[in-house]
Structure 1
Amino acid sequence: MSGTEQYAFERGLRVGLTGGIGSGKSTVARTFAQLGALVVDSDAIQRLVVAPGSDGLRAIVEEFGEAMLTAGGELNRPAMAELVFADETARRRLEGITHPLIAQETARQMGKAASGQVVVHDIPLLVELGYADKYDLVVIVDAPEEVRLERLVADRGMTKEAALSRIRSQATTEQRRAVADVWIDNTGTPEELREQASEVWTTHVEPSVHH
C-alpha cells in the first residue's frame, strides 16, 4: 500500500490498530470484534488478493513468470521475496499490482460496516506506511523486545535469530509512541490483555462513538 491511497471510511469511528510481531495485537483485534467492531485484517487481505485463481496472482505470473508459482498453483512466497528483496524495480512492479487490489478490497470490507459501527483496521505496518492520520484513534499494542522474542520462539517455533530480525525490521517503540493515541502494554497474561482491550473500548472507543 502506498501513502497516497485513500480508503472509503464513510461511517462510524475509524480505529487503526497496530503493534510489532509478537505484541499481542491479534488478541486485541479479537476482543474489539467481540465488543461489536468490524475488524478489517490487513494481513488477510494481502493473502486474499494473491490467492490461487485471483486476478492478483495471474498478474504476478504474467509479470514475473511461472517461477512465482508453486507446484500447487499458489504464490511462491520465498521466490517472490527473494526477487523483490534484491531488486527495487521488481518490488515496485509487484506493489503496482498488489497495492490497488489491497486498497480496493480494504474499502470493500470497510464498506460493510453498519451505520455507526466502529471499524478497526488491524494493520501491522501502520507506522511504517505513515497511515496514522487516516484514523480517528490509533491504538498500539506493545511489549518489551525480550518478551516478544520469547513468545515468537515458544509460540511460533521461530529461531531466535529469525524472530529478532523480524522485530528489528519493524518500527521502533519510539516511532510507535509518536503516533499512539492509546498505548497497551502487553507484558502480562492473555486474559490481562483482553481486560486492557475491553477497558480501552470503554474509555476511548465508546465515548467517541457517542460524542
Structure 2
Amino acid sequence: MFLVGLTGGIGTGKSTVSAMIQEMGVPVIDADLIARQIVEPGKKAWKKIRETFGDEMFLESGELDRPKLSSLVFTDAEKRKTINKITHPEIYGEIRRQVFRYFLKGEQFVVLDLPLLFESNKVTSYLYKTITQLERLMDRNQYTEKEAISRIEAQMPLEKKCNMADIIIENSGSLSNTRKQVEGIIKLVRTSNHHIYNRVVYGGGFMAVLVAILYLLIFHVIGLL
C-alpha cells in the first residue's frame, strides 16, 4: 500500500474533491474529522485544552466551543502552537492507526486529507504523490473578512503549495470539470505498482522482525529447560 496526500488552501474545495475520491472507492483519512473527534468531551485532548485555556472555551454541554477557540488561535501564533502541541499527537496517532488497518485490508493506496500537509511536514516523506488545488470562490464560507484573512495568513501561500505538489487540480470551474480531473488522477494513480514494492519492503521487514522475536523466544525457552 502507498499513501497519497491531498491538501489545499482555505476555500479551495478540498472537501468536495475528497468526497469525489471516496465515491470512486478510494479510502480517505480525513484529518479534519479526526481533529473534531479527538476533542470530544472526555477525550485526552479535550482535557488538556480545558486545563490550558479554561472553561470559557467550552459550551454548557461540555463540548468545545470550536468557533471561539479558532478565533483565538488564528489571531495568536503562540496559542496556535500550544493547541497544535495538544492536538497533533492525537491526530497523527489516529492517522497511523487507520493507515495500518487499511494496510491489513490489502488496499492499494489511501488518500490522506490533510489541510496542513506542507505546513506541518510530518508525513510528506511517506507520501508517494501529493495533490493540491487552486483556489476558488471563498464566499461559501461563513467567515468575516478579518477571520478569512487570519486563516489564510496562518497557512502556507497556495502558490508555494502548488509548487511543492506533484498534481494540481484546477477547480474554479464547474463540478463536472473538477470530477473529470479527479477521475483522471485516480485512474493514473491506480496504474502504479508502488504498493507491491512497499509490501515487499515493509512486509519483508515486518516478517524479519517477527522471526527474530520468535527465535529469541525459542532460545529463551531452551535456556530455561
Same fold (TM over 0.5): yes
Q: Deviations over 1:10-36 (max 9, x none)?
A: xx1200001112212222211221222
Match of 1:128 in 2: 119
Alignment of 1:10-159 (within 5 A): 12-81=1-70, 84=73, 85-86=75-76, 88=78, 90-113=79-102, 114-130=105-121, 131-143=123-135, 148=136, 151-153=137-139, 155-159=140-144
Residue 189 of structure 1: which of 174, 183, 198 is its match?
174
Flag the 1:110–1:74 CA change in 2: closer, same or farther, 3 A: same
CA distance in 2, matches of 1:128, 1:139: 14
CA distance in 2, matches of 1:20, 1:173: 6
How far has the Cα of 1:99 moved from its partner? 1.9
> Which amino acid in structure 2 is aligned with residue 101 of structure 1?
E
Flag the 1:31–1:108 CA change in 2: closer, same or farther, 3 A: same
> Which amino acid in structure 2 is aligned with residue 152 of structure 1?
M
Q: Does 1:208 align with 2:192?
A: yes
Flag the 1:15–1:66 CA change in 2: closer, same or farther, 3 A: same
> Which amino acid in structure 2 is aligned with residue 170 of structure 1?
Q
Q: Does 1:171 align with 2:156?
A: yes
CA distance in 2, matches of 1:165, 1:185: 24
Q: Deviations over 1:24-81 (max 9, x none)?
A: 2222211221222110001111111101232221222233332232112111335534
Structure having the higher Rg = 2
> Which amino acid in structure 2 is aligned with residue 207 of structure 1?
T
User: Does the 8 A contact of 1:52 with 1:74 survive in 2?
Assistant: yes
CA distance in 2, matches of 1:34, 1:53: 33
CA distance in 2, matches of 1:63, 1:50: 13
TM-score, structure 1 length as denominator? Answer: 0.79
CA distance in 1, matches of 2:185, 2:162: 16
Aligned pairs, number: 191
User: Does the 8 A contact of 2:8 with 2:158 survive in 1?
Assistant: no
> Which amino acid in structure 1 is aligned with residue 156 of structure 2?
A
CA distance in 1, matches of 2:64, 2:89: 18
Identical-pair percentage: 37
In structure 1, list runs of 5 or more residues that go unmatched.
1-11
User: Does the 8 A contact of 1:29 with 1:39 survive in 2?
Assistant: yes
